[in-house]
Structure 1
Amino acid sequence: MTSERNREVVKRAWRSFSTRDEDLIATFFTEDAEWLAPLGNATAVALGGTHHMVSRDAIVRFLTIEFPRMFVSDVAVDFRGFYADGDVVVVEETMQATLANGNAYRNDYCFVFELRDGLIHRVREYMDTANGHRMVFGGV
């Protein structure tokens, strides 16, 4: 697929995440997809989950069941860029939300999507982990 088509796949996938529609979201991932986030990130710690999800089912479960347990309302994403080169699409964004503990959340992210045969095969997620911990768990 072309860079432009892959960029559009990722944009459509991102829009699907907010629907919480398991079947729809699943259509964007390979069965053996992986999602890797920084070890010890606040979301994984708070939810008692992993920083490395393996399988389409695990990713869909996180996006439809686990994510809304943590980010309970006012979820908004400000996209700053979608950049594509072949089968790699990079997304820069800022996410805001109200957390389950009532705290406001705002953090910058960079996602690297790797596609295979027009589907998302791997996601590498980067964020300010110290900032995330402060908002989720408090402290300095």
Structure 2
Amino acid sequence: MPAGERLVTSPREIVLNAWKTFSSRDAARIAALFTDDAEWIAPKGNATAVALDHTDHMVGAQAIACFIAQEMHKLFTDIDIAFRGVYADGDVVIVEERMRAALPGGKPYENDYCFVFTVAGDRIREVREYMDTRKGWRLVFGEEG
């Protein structure tokens, strides 16, 4: 490939590569996946955000990378992600997955998620996250929220 020329990658490939990079827990590599003004929007009051005293709307590549590389691992260990489906249309990629993990004290966590990624060029501009918030709350806090 000539110097200065970039490999064109589809939005689907960009998102699938992101999941591989997330597991590296390398904040610099993760931040490079997102636009500087990227947003990650999760349901308000979700159990993860409440348990970690964290926002449910992250703005900026650095904030998102810090959460993925460090913060979420304060609540979840032994994370296992199983993809159920990946669907792409233009710059939008939808990922359905099941996350299994251990909570503090070893209690099991298992919940289904849907992520809607919007890609801009070769980086992720927005992620909208959906999950069963009631189940998540019950698993994390042991009670209805």
Q: For the superposition of Structure 1 and Structure 2, which TM-score range results when normalised by the shorter chain?
A: over 0.9
Aligned residues: 136
Cα pair 2:32 2:61 within 8 Å, conserved? no
Q: For 1:68-87, what aligned pairs fall within 5 Å after superposition?
A: 68-72=73-77, 74-87=78-91
Task: Decide which of 6, 11, 33 is 2:16's aligned counterpart.
Answer: 11
Q: Deviations over 1:117-140 (max 9, x none)?
A: 121000000000000000100025
- State the TM-score, normalizing by the size of structure 1: 0.94
Quick one: which of 100, 103, 114 aligns to 1:99?
A: 103
Q: Percent identity?
A: 55
**2: distance between equivalents of 1:70 and 1:102?**
10
- CA-to-partner distance for each residue in 1:15-34, whole Å, 9 max, x for gaps? 11011011211111000000
Q: 1:93-121, CA deviations, whole angstroms, 9 ceiling, x for partnerless residues?
A: 00000012431100000000001112100
d(CA) in 2 for partners of 1:101, 1:114: 36
Question: What code does the residue aligned with 1:116 have?
Answer: A
How far apart, in 1, do the equivalents of 2:95 and 2:105 lie?
28
- Supply the distance in 2 between the matched residues of 1:103 and 1:138 (Cα, whole angstroms): 10
Question: Given that residues 101 and 136 in structure 1 are in contact (C-alpha distance below 8 angstroms), is that contact kept between their aligned partners in structure 2?
Answer: no
Normalising by structure 2, we get a TM-score of: 0.91
- Partners in 2 of 1:8 and 1:30 — Cα distance? 16
Question: Structure 1's 94 and 79: CA in aligned 2 closer, same or farther, altered over 3 A?
Answer: same
Unpaired runs of 5+ in structure 1?
none
- Contact 1:33 / 1:56 at 8 angstroms: preserved in 2? yes
Contact 1:94 1:107 in 2 (8 A): yes
Structure 1: distance between partners of 2:35 and 2:104: 31
Equivalent AA in structure 1 for residue 47 of structure 2: A
Secondary structure of the corresponding residue to residue 126 of structure 2: strand
Match of 1:90 among 79, 94, 108: 94
Supply the RMSD in Å over aligned alpha carbons: 1.1
Match of 2:126 in 1: 122
What is the SS of the residue equivalent to 2:24? Answer: coil
1:67 partner letter: M
Find 2:116's aligned residue among 103, 112, 115.
112
Q: Which residue of 1 aligns with 2:4?
A: none
